[in-house]
Chain A
């Protein structure tokens, strides 16, 4: 690896200094140059071509929350039907679509994308750079995600909604028993969202490895960024599994392959192994960024650094690794060999240790600090309260015999809502309250915030705690109704009523955002007195994030040096340029040109989307689709003689 020759080469090229540099340029002119170089055109066109990680991150976030609303409303519909025994509001056909769309949307179109979305917005700011490593790939990933989400929901509107659960077991989804095109839309939606997730994972890894501010050595990376890095790796190794399995499903249905057909040497359990090899890591893909939020919010509101930085980072990495050794715990009832099962019990229990370490470190942090009970902290506390419950029920279901009673009952439904909502959505809402000022320049209302928190918190526990009991009383999940004699009616009614409280809580959340966007208090750069780099720039940040790129000498830079930001000089301001640094100790290494706006990511996404959609109906779509797709990509990568190319 000949970095040296390269460096030499680089210099041969630029005889003297090319382009306008920020060196000695006074602030006003510097900003003017940068604003011009990094601008996004006005109007619709600009909206379509932009590669600004903040604009893309923002639209990712908004889209994900819209999907939360859709999936949440379908949940309310289910609760309406389940409120009383033998209610006739919703028949089996529609109910099955409802719970499938609810689960699928929450997992694939809300929880995972929203975590990526925040990463796309925050990571470049937190590590002190101006954009992600592959800005156009980033734009592309959003368009692919959006088309996947729209596709499955439009199909649902035409009564072709997926209806076999969010893990679509074969043979129920296979060529013989799958209903119409429903499973195909499900499988292709999965492909879309996986493509976008993988794209984001790749760009995050390259960004965190190569674009950290000078001096941000591995042990100075904010824990949140660590959590995103770990998540990116989990995505990298988990998502291919579901792409492989959903492709096999499509092939079985479309061209008659026999992967899952026992009569021809295939196997129904193969699907479950492949799906859960992805599906279990999936839940940690949702969870790890959430604990990243917690580790970012907590120090700010207890006014001290997190206790046990190293311990927490290692726990995150451990969770990442362990998450690949657990998938079978979703398959205990299929009757695998006893020994194997005990192994998966043990590994499932083991993952409680890294989770525990973090809980303990956070409690120690609080102990050593001075808590300020602002809304973000409330959500963090609510998270600890509920997540520990969900985690402990997780440990219960990790026991094979115990799971054989509660598997596929409402006990499991309770478990995963505790960990998903308590463990991931609470920190997420906290994160919204925490970073809203940075993203919009305005504070959210604390008063509405408290109402929001208490309604969601109380409503949530009243909705989901009783589900444990329903499960133990024998109520299976995914039933559209139940007989009065079961005696499940009263608890279900109670649950359905409580879910309305959750609904009101969320309504307040959206209301708070709408109101504060217009007349929230002006935030200023660092309203919470936080310690990480994103608070060193203005709120909202300029298109170029930092007028000069920061240099880091401490794990909590803004606490170590509250009023002066050390920066580097010498980058171009007349063209998009970011700083490349070494992987381990972040020594400046390159001035990397950063891609400019382009329409091609959108067009390529449309081409790819078209090919996927067509392949639901004919395999030839892949062949014909290949043509526009390759045109799209060629134009995307074809250099347009950008200024930096002369160097």
Chain B
């Protein structure tokens, strides 16, 4: 699915974004400007409206489209709590309306202090039973919530794989630890996992608090400096799921997204071994020139490209940049145009981002873009 920010390539992206799934999306949200429509879309019906059109499923992040045990448990909770709330509210409104209108234009108001005890006692009983039922409902809700929590907690412990995520302003550093440290995979902003297998996600932050949240798969969990924590993810359908940092973390909190790609074990292992390899050597002159520029103009101070001299750790590892779906924590789609636009001037697309604007000649710029674009 396509998204971008840079004014640069707005038009092309706009066309891109009108492929099937996006179309289905805009169709369904078109009803958004009429409230009833909105309400309908909130209902379970929506799951139908937006059934994935491409292979697998690629919903935009939404708690209403659960594709993992954790998220599904919570979605059930949302519907049941929602139903109870709706009914409670209707009952209260019913009582209120009757209270207001049951005796309009009966004889004129009696003097304010004349209340009849019989009625007072009836009120007492009514309020009493209302409170009693409130207590019962609340007890029921608390218990439901508690067991939902347990079933989610029960996912942990069976993990077949560990992913380590470190939050940075404003991107995600991702590691697949390996007993042989040299073979630990380092990438950014895109997680791959085997469908159906519980995956342990270890969370930590080096700067401020962030929050890891992929609504279709699981509830959120904060990344707090000095307080590592973890979360278990299971995806039960192949597809790409979008996530986004949920804890305010400064300028680009809005552009700190993450993509989760769930795929078959086979595909996953293949991906993994590709990521394991060092970067491809420059194929042509253009790429070679790009690599030169990359290593000489300072990019390498922050970025690493395994297999070259570039070993910076401040920014994302770019060894397999071109294999990712998006750029700059899902700010731009991974397209040549976007890549060039980003390198040319990160600040205009992502104001405040820690990547400085580096002056490159037009040719060097294109060369670097081509080089990075070749890092499959």
Contacts and interface: CB of A to CB of B under 8 A. Distances in A.
User: In the complex, are there CB atoms of A and B closer than 8 Å?
Assistant: yes
A371 interface: yes
Interface string B162-180: 0000000100000000000
Given A366-B99, A366-B100, A91 B351 contact: yes
A96 B249 CA distance: 10
A370 B252 CA distance: 56
A165 B248 contact: yes
B207 interface: yes
A127 interface: no
Contacts of A311: 127
Contact of A171 (B2, B39, B208, B252): B208
Interface stretch (A28-36, A139-147, A466-474, A574-582): A466-474
B250 interface: yes
A46 interface: no
A553 interface: no
A396 to B, nearest CB: 5
A402 B134 CA distance: 20
B88 A392 contact: yes
Interface in A89-140: 91-93, 96
A565 B187 CA distance: 81
A400 B242 CA distance: 22
A359 interface: yes
A474 B63 contact: yes
B127 A361 contact: yes
A305 B5 contact: no
Interface residues of B toward A: which range? 35 or more
A140 B222 CA distance: 42
Interface stretch (A231-239, A240-248, A263-271, A625-633): A263-271
A151 to B, nearest CB: 24
A478 B249 CA distance: 9
Contacts of A263: 226
A41 interface: no
B131 interface: yes
Contacts of A407: 220, 246
Interface in B91-150: 92-93, 95-96, 98-100, 102-103, 108-113, 115, 119-120, 123-124, 126-127, 130-131, 134-135, 138, 141-142, 144-146, 148-149
Interface in B287-313: none
Interface string B67-80: 00001011101100
A399 B145 contact: yes
Given A262-B225, A262-B226, A384-B92, A92 B3 contact: no
A349 B77 CA distance: 15
Given A263-B226, A268-B226, A405 B78 contact: yes
Interface string A378-409: 00010011001100110110011111111111
Interface stretch (B21-29, B315-323, B357-365): B21-29
Contacts of A486: 60-61
Nearest to B243: A474
Interface string B213-231: 1010011111011110100
Interface string B29-58: 111110100110110000000000000000
A145 B81 CA distance: 41
A62 interface: no
A404 B85 contact: no
B17 interface: yes
A353 B135 contact: yes
Contacts of A308: 123-124, 127
A489 interface: yes
Contacts of B338: none
A350 B29 CA distance: 37
B33 A472 contact: no
A86 interface: yes
A503 interface: no
Interface string B251-276: 11110000000000000000000000
A401 B149 CA distance: 6
A164 interface: yes
Given A91-B351, A366-B99, A485-B25, A304 B63 contact: no
A334 B222 contact: yes
Contacts of B355: none
28 contacts: A171-B209, A172-B208, A177-B169, A267-B226, A304-B112, A304-B115, A333-B220, A335-B229, A338-B153, A345-B142, A345-B145, A352-B138, A360-B131, A361-B127, A364-B127, A366-B100, A400-B149, A404-B219, A404-B220, A405-B71, A405-B219, A408-B211, A473-B62, A474-B60, A482-B254, A484-B3, A487-B28, A560-B113
Given A478-B253, A488-B29, 8 more contacts: A268-B209, A269-B227, A333-B222, A353-B131, A385-B93, A388-B88, A465-B35, A469-B42
Interface of B: 1-5, 14, 17, 22, 25-26, 28-33, 35, 38-39, 41-42, 60-64, 71, 73-75, 77-78, 81-82, 85, 88-89, 92-93, 95-96, 98-100, 102-103, 108-113, 115, 119-120, 123-124, 126-127, 130-131, 134-135, 138, 141-142, 144-146, 148-149, 152-153, 169, 207-209, 211, 213, 215, 218-222, 224-227, 229, 242, 244-254, 351-352
